[in-house]
Copies of this chain bind each other. A is one copy, B any other.
Amino acid sequence: MNTASSASDCVASWCADDDWCGVTCTMEVLGRKWNPVVVHRLLERDSLRFGELAEELGDVTNKVLSESLEDLEDRGVVERTVENEKPVRVRYSLTERGRSLEPVVGALEDWGEDHLADDC
Contact = CB atoms under 8 A, between A and B. Distances in A.
A90 interface: no
Interface stretch (A14-22, A65-73, A78-86): A14-22
Interface of A: 1-6, 8-12, 14-15, 18-31, 33, 36-37, 40-41, 43-44, 56-59, 75-76, 97, 100-120
A12 B4 CA distance: 33
Contact of A103 (B24, B100, B111): B111
Given A116-B9, A116-B10, A22 B109 contact: yes
Give the copy number.
2
Contact of A20 (B3, B21, B40, B117): B40
Contacts of A33: 27, 31
Contact of A22 (B3, B14, B18, B112): B112
Contact of A8 (B18, B56, B59): B59
B58 A111 contact: no
Report which residue of A3, A40, A76 has the largest number of chain B beta carbons within 10 angstroms of its beta carbon.
Answer: A40
Given A36-B27, A59-B14, A106-B1, A117 B22 contact: no
